Amino acid sequence: MTMVEVLSSELVVPAGKTPGGSIWLSNLDLAGRRGYSPTVYFFRPNGDPSFFAADAMKDSLARALVAFYPLAGRLGLDGSGRIQVDCTGEGVAFLTARSEHYALEELMNEFVPCGEMRDLLVPPTPAPNPPCALLFVQITRLRCGGVVLGQAMHHSIVDARGAAHFFETWASISRGGGAPTMPPCFDHTLLAARPAQSRAVLYDHPEYKPEPEPVDPVSASTYASAIITMTKGQVGALKARCLGSSTFRAVVALVWQCACRARALPPAAETWLYSMVDMRARLDPPLPAGYFGNAVIRTSVSATVEEVVSSPLVHAARLVRAATSQSDDHARSLVDYLEGVDTMNLPRRGISRAHLRAISWMGMSLSDADFGWGAPAFMGPALMYYSGFVYVMNAPGKDGALALVLSLEPESMPAFSKVFADELARLDTSVEKPSRGLSKM
């Protein structure tokens, strides 16, 4: 049985005249993963006959591409062989599909990020090398009338925040809005290395250096993934245990502790926490809010398993803070460092099973991805690249709640699920409850 049938495939070009030429990519663009980043948006049917009509979606996409014209171009090479974006206006791939197998609620109950779901809901993509298209979109209509919008955008030209900016703009235009209220900025020279005589590499930047092959390498095809919801009360109780830590740092500290326990790692083993930090507002001067490129840097901190597991949770949260508190001097040092290395040979493989990579998508508002028929019932990655990933996101329709999308080794996931559920139960018992009209102290 074919679970999803592709009905049409075409190119959507910008609705108006757009600039030509090429766009230079920064060292942070070149240092990122060379490939496509697939995500999915699930939408419940609302009874409107025009619900995600293909012609209307193509029209609003074409108008969004006028402002975000590089997406309609192709990945190219300059005269020296450096990757760039050629603004050719050739268009983005737009596919329509249908599934008589799935209703939305059934799909949401079954969905976890994995290769099977990516293949069902996101268009196939070519090798991510020049000359290749930069954006692929698929609208899949389900048996119940619900819709999944799946997309794959080339990571070399933009990070998650920039991608969200584009989809929020497309959604706004679909709702009847005009030009984006926050214009995109394509000046990647804002993240160029400093002149040779004034470069200063002040940090070691181990995240960008080749490592010895791990004894226990993680295959991209061997992971189990899960989506876990934390209530607003659980998040509040967790932050109280972490003494003023941010939500992201407190949540990642708990996931790190639970992952170390579930993996049954030796106490003396070294465990690394990797993260990706958005530097737009941390640079001096800050980047424009609409900067459309890769403005994130890899960061990390290490500890022994015993230190992470046996210390109070607030200690792990402080370790996470050490991995996520970088400022302008760190980012500029990294850009200068990358100027002197071959970015094609930077480490891009998976991580050892002792480590964790945590990414915040909390700044992405699901309400801003409303194409005119309601906010998504869920938005998240369609695929986890390897074991040891965790995305921290806002839970749809639940103010203050979080959704954690994570991957672990298949043999570790059952133990993690139990350990983490036990921790959530403890948080539930510590949530303050009113007593005789007064809050407990």
pLDDT tens digits for range 247-267:
999 999 999 999 999 999 999
Residue range 123-144: mean pLDDT, rounded:
96
Q: What is the predicted pLDDT for the residue at 397?
A: 77
DSSP annotation string for 23-63: EE--HHHHHS-SSEEEEEEEE---S-TTTT-HHHHHHHHHH
Place 220 in a pLDDT band, splitting at 50, 70 and 90: very low
Q: For residues 221 and 152, which has the higher predicted lDDT (pLDDT)? A: 152
Angle 412-354-109 from CA coordinates, rounded to 5°? 35
Mean pLDDT calculated for residue range 34-57: 94
Question: Sorting pLDDT into bands at 50, 70 and 90, what band is 436?
Answer: very low
Segment among 89-98, 294-303, 338-347 with least mean pLDDT: 338-347
Q: What percent of the chain has pLDDT over 70?
A: 93
CB 356 within 8 A of CB 274: yes
Q: Is the pLDDT of residue 437 over 60?
A: no
| Residue 218 clears pLDDT 80, i.e. is over it | no
The answer to whether 328 is a known catalytic residue is no
Q: What is the mean pLDDT of residues 57-81?
A: 96
Mean model confidence pLDDT for the chain: 90
Question: What one-letter code names the amino acid at 390?
Answer: V
The C-alpha angle 241, 243, 247, rounded to 5 degrees, equals 80
Residue of 119, 187, 368, 370 marked active site: 370
Express as a percent the part of the chain with pLDDT over 90: 80
Whole-number Å distance between alpha carbons of 303 and 315: 11
Token duo for residue 141: 């209509």
Does the structure show a pLDDT above 80 at 433? Answer: no
R_g over Cα of the chain: 22
What span, in angstroms and rounded, lies between the C-alpha atoms of 20 and 106?
45
Of residues 345 and 114, more confidence is placed in 114
With cut-offs at 50, 70 and 90, classify the pLDDT of residue 435: very low
Mean pLDDT, residues 307-318 taken together:
95
Asked if CATH classification 3.40.50.2020 holds for the domain at 5-191, the reply, yes or no, is: no
Separation of alpha carbons 382 and 39, rounded Å = 5
Residue 400: per-residue pLDDT: 85
The answer to whether residues 430 and 233 touch, using CB atoms and an 8 Å cutoff, is no
Q: Which two tokens stand for residue 385?
A: 């690249």
CA 404/CA 144 separation, integer angstroms: 27
Confidence label for 434 from pLDDT (cuts 50, 70 and 90): very low
Whether 370 is a known active-site residue: answer yes
pLDDT of residue 207: 87
5-12 β-sheet, strand order: 5-12, 92-98, 135-141, 147-154, 36-43, 378-381
Res 65 pLDDT > 90: yes
- The residues near 208 (Cβ < 8 Å, ≥ 6 apart) are 31, 298, 334, 337, 338, 341, 346, 347
Q: What is the pLDDT of residue 211?
A: 58
The answer to whether 25 and 85 have CB atoms below 8 angstroms apart is yes
**173-190 mean pLDDT:** 91
Strand 389-394 to 356-360 pairing = parallel
> Helices (DSSP H) in 288-372: which residue ranges?
305-310, 313-323, 328-339
> Which residue has tokens 């074991």?
387
The answer to whether the beta carbons of residues 351 and 275 sit under 8 Å apart is no
Neighbours of 271 (CB within 10 A): 24
Q: Residue 283 pLDDT more than 80?
A: yes
| CATH 3.30.559.10 residue ranges for the chain | 5-191, 196-432
* 3-class DSSP state of 139: strand
Least confident of 8-17, 20-29, 103-112, 357-366: 357-366
The active-site residue, picked from 29, 154, 155, 330, is 155
Tell me what pLDDT residue 310 has: 94
Query: Which fold is adopted by the domain 196-432?
Result: Chloramphenicol Acetyltransferase (3.30.559)
